[in-house]
Amino acid sequence: MESSKPTEISSSKMFEGFNRRYKHYSPTLGCSINFHIYFPPSTSPSQKFPVLYWLSGLSCTDENFIIKSGAQRVASTEGIALVVPDTSPSAGFYLNATVEKWKNWQMYDYVVKELPKLLNDNFSQLDTSQASISGHSMGGHGALTIYLKNLDKYKSVSAFAPIVNPVNCPWGQKAFTNYLGDDKSAWEEYDATCLISKFNDVAATILIDQGEDDKFLHENQLLPNKFDEACRNVEAPLLLRMQPGYDHSYYFIASFIDDHIRHHAQALNL
């Protein structure tokens, strides 16, 4: 059996820091999984960096964000470590599946519990008690729901084109039926628009960027207006920026990622 301790499988220098990729066996998921960490440049051996978790979208791996987003430039200057888990299983919606067939799909527990402990135990240069979370599409959904249910664990959240109301969109309905069964109340536990009414004691403004030319926006998969309305109802601070001409791709993410890194740096008091 593979070690649950992470083994480094690649390393590349970037903006004076390093992208390092690791593999480990996850007891939570019952399989081995990869993740990337971008370590910013260190000024002393005892320096500890806060962590920004990035949750990727459907069909992405831990590599897409590291290769395409350009987030390392500002992470390097702000002194934030980027932690990017794989999405394996690729369509897991960052929930804990309850249907027998998918019972190993426990990505919520992996992100919230197993991964931070793994980082804490194996990387002395990371300060996992100072953490924020972000993501794209399905990963934006993951970031928002995980943040709202764990306001004590994360200082801030942001998202690009997130699926904010999955109980009311085709992608969410299909995934939730598969993984959670037919009990709609169980679905609401993983829906940011439902959760914000319960968990609205938000310390930092929620930042969301959404491209206006995103085809999934027009197919009613993302529903940012529903989340905007729910935030207004409970006076939760949301900055929803509709970006004219942008689509759902990493070109869009790369265009605005600097703002997101700085948003988290501010919340992390850097």
The catalytic residue positions are 137, 214, 248
Query: Do the strands 49-55 and 81-85 form a parallel or antiparallel pair, or are they unpaired?
Result: parallel
Among candidates 135, 157, 140, 122, which has minimal Cα distance to 237?
A: 157
Handedness of CA 255, 151, 6, 86 (dihedral sign): negative
Beta strands, E only, the chain: 7-14, 17-26, 31-39, 49-55, 81-85, 126-136, 157-160, 206-211, 238-243
Specify the DSSP element, H or E, that contains 233: helix 224-233
SS3 for 49? strand
Q: Return d(Cα 178, Cα 11) in angstroms, integer.
A: 37
Query: 10 Å Cβ neighbour count for 70?
Result: 18
Q: Answer whether 222's CB lies under 8 Å from 193's CB.
A: no
